[in-house]
Structure 1
């Protein structure tokens, strides 16, 4: 199995917490679409004919593209790649783009899942991070998507936003549950270097939410998710039964995937590569059939560290037999040795197949992951 990720690098305005590559000018969307199509043709053998069970249009804001542009992209995807009949095909979208007319257009395309970047149901919080939609538009987008026939909707939320109180976070979750999305991704706000929010903090214009409040928000969210029937299948991802994200799960299972578009990453099982993070240079290179990318061959240690980093965040956790199969018995011995003290302190627990984080472990997951990695 394999996946395909398409990076659509356009945003109508720049959110001040986001460090993903994007452009705020939309003047090159059609030229970009043709370049993306060309890259998909040039790299048709990257997945070695593997069946593709997930396609994800991410960004950026893919919902700035037109129906015609999507149709041209899908034409090459289904012509050159082995897309399964039950493939999950996700469009990442901004709520204010999802008008009834736009949603009607989407129903005529292969999309069967929407991922909405809602982040908050408070206009004050949305303005604080320079989101361009309103709380009302977010609510209407989900309802309109239902009316259009979409039965697999994911929404993104952020907790710890500037000025956000615990009570406001409780209210955001209540709004989310009332919409009954099949999937919710909820992330604690991070201040990424170089972003607008990072610069505002440096000037004393915003303050980070205290760690103890962030922890309280997360714990409350876990309890509420469970009470509403959402499975916490990864630290920040929650799904109703049968609605885990195939796209996310493919990353965590280390399934090979092709990433197309500027800054997009690809993984073939033995190496990773990433396209140049520059729209003009990306398009110029593709037009000359000279792809601009960097590639890294993965050592056994690199591959093990990748496995620990993604799998320990999941509910399944780390499988001992899987480590032996992938990396050999010596790496398993290392993993067990490093894990032992966290098992003793209750931050890790043994399962039938290996180890997983406890609730207390989730709270210090980054430290545990770092200690289980092989550094020499």
Structure 2
């Protein structure tokens, strides 16, 4: 089976107010971290016999901000992946911030085999970008997009965000309109989240900002779906839209129970039976790998956990939960647990798949919690 590799680059030039991912601004450690990544790849290959037959299908550089790495470090990582985990690389993605995009950088990435860029735009409104503490402006984002296109990268995804404090439906429509004018191959769109421990959550607790109400959220999400699908985008996952043939192959593996390898601080891996995660401390990660010790913890996945994982991932997709993948006990449990959602048309049963209806998209978390086995 083809499998994906995720490489976590935890460096950022500055922290955004909403970000709950593990990252650091200690860019002086970039090169040392790169060397640790290369060593981890070798260590993992040497201690896990199954990886000797690992056929890499996709590579995804996430963060943090992968584009803060020097091209020399990026090249080292690409060479190591090709040497230790070769395969038919159908999709190689690098996340970039607009302010890191230069013709030289993008052209070099393309020469390394990158054929997909995921760019964190978030908004085309400068006030909202400043609120998020993003370093780029709306005009920079548009310029960066055009640079990527001109460099010959034929698959561009952009991230958008909605649900800002005081944002109205007209503001959101303008962001969608601008995004569509660029004609990206893929759009990921998320409602602004107030994750505990982030500066944004502290602002909320202090009463400095106010979350949008549920009615506004529903209106914005509805507008997103209507606009993008009417312009030819397939709504293939709750937050993701793609033109025909441009679904994210790598991210789809997470939603369809496909094994993957993760390298770097805080990165996760999954082989179908066990989930591993590296420690989320940059210094400890580097020191451990330098000493030849894999800095990972793991959990073996029992039948209940595997079922719950399928529910919370597969139901996010337009295909839904394939009941034929479940043993009888879990299939019966899923159907019984879904009976209420089926009766009120939040879920539909089609071709032996349970999948969210348009109505069910707005209460997906509640539906998944009903189906989870506790």
| TM-score normalised per structure 1 | 0.97
Q: Per-residue CA shift, 1:224-263, capped at 9, x if unaligned? A: 1111100000010000000000111110111111111000
Q: Is 1:14 aligned with 2:18? A: no
Equivalent-residue separation in structure 1 for 2:110 and 2:319 (angstroms):
34
Equivalent-residue separation in structure 2 for 1:66 and 1:271 (angstroms):
34
Alignment match, 1:60: 64
SS at match of 1:14: coil
Per mean C-alpha deviation after superposition, the further-off stretch among 43-52 and 12-21 is 43-52
Alignment match, 1:299: 302
Residue 304 of structure 1 deviates from its aligned partner by 0.3
Q: Per-residue CA shift, 1:257-291, capped at 9, x if unaligned? A: 11110000110110111101110110000000112
Per mean C-alpha deviation after superposition, the further-off stretch among 95-104 and 307-316 is 95-104
Give the conservation status (yes or no) of the 8 Å contact 2:60–2:92.
Answer: yes
Alignment match, 1:285: 288
Residue 360 of structure 1 deviates from its aligned partner by 1.1
SS at match of 1:47: helix
| Match for residue 75 of structure 1 among 79, 83, 87 | 79
Give the conservation status (yes or no) of the 8 Å contact 1:113–1:151.
Answer: yes
Per mean C-alpha deviation after superposition, the further-off stretch among 215-224 and 99-108 is 99-108
Give the conservation status (yes or no) of the 8 Å contact 1:62–1:93.
Answer: yes
Q: Is 1:368 aligned with 2:367? A: yes
Alignment match, 2:351: 352
Equivalent-residue separation in structure 1 for 2:158 and 2:43 (angstroms):
33
Residue 74 of structure 1 deviates from its aligned partner by 1.0
Residue 340 of structure 1 deviates from its aligned partner by 1.1
Equivalent-residue separation in structure 1 for 2:352 and 2:228 (angstroms):
25
- Structure 1 segment 100-139 matched on structure 2, within 5 A: 100-139=103-142
Equivalent-residue separation in structure 2 for 1:177 and 1:183 (angstroms):
10
**4+ residue runs of structure 1 moved beyond 4 angstroms?**
none
Equivalent-residue separation in structure 1 for 2:212 and 2:104 (angstroms):
39
Give the conservation status (yes or no) of the 8 Å contact 1:157–1:187.
Answer: yes
Give the conservation status (yes or no) of the 8 Å contact 1:17–1:196.
Answer: yes
| Match for residue 47 of structure 1 among 51, 54, 58 | 51
Residue 76 of structure 1 deviates from its aligned partner by 1.0
Equivalent-residue separation in structure 1 for 2:21 and 2:105 (angstroms):
25
Alignment match, 2:38: 37
Give the conservation status (yes or no) of the 8 Å contact 1:215–1:363.
Answer: yes
Give the conservation status (yes or no) of the 8 Å contact 2:60–2:93.
Answer: yes
SS at match of 1:82: coil
Give the conservation status (yes or no) of the 8 Å contact 2:44–2:294.
Answer: no
Residue 102 of structure 1 deviates from its aligned partner by 1.8
Equivalent-residue separation in structure 2 for 1:55 and 1:108 (angstroms):
15
| Match for residue 192 of structure 1 among 168, 191, 195 | 195
Equivalenced residue count is: 370
Alignment match, 1:270: 273
Equivalent-residue separation in structure 1 for 2:166 and 2:53 (angstroms):
50
Q: Per-residue CA shift, 1:334-354, capped at 9, x if unaligned? A: 000011111110101111122
- Structure 1 segment 130-209 matched on structure 2, within 5 A: 130-209=133-212
SS at match of 1:286: helix
Give the conservation status (yes or no) of the 8 Å contact 1:125–1:162.
Answer: no
Alignment match, 2:249: 246
Equivalent-residue separation in structure 2 for 1:165 and 1:290 (angstroms):
51
Equivalent-residue separation in structure 1 for 2:239 and 2:312 (angstroms):
14
Structure 1: gaps (5+ residues):
none
| TM-score normalised per structure 2 | 0.97
Compute the RMSD of aligned alpha carbons: 1.0
Per mean C-alpha deviation after superposition, the further-off stretch among 233-242 and 156-165 is 156-165
Give the conservation status (yes or no) of the 8 Å contact 1:47–1:258.
Answer: no
SS at match of 2:325: helix
Residue 48 of structure 1 deviates from its aligned partner by 4.7
Give the conservation status (yes or no) of the 8 Å contact 2:261–2:268.
Answer: yes
Alignment match, 1:87: 90
Equivalent-residue separation in structure 2 for 1:184 and 1:40 (angstroms):
31
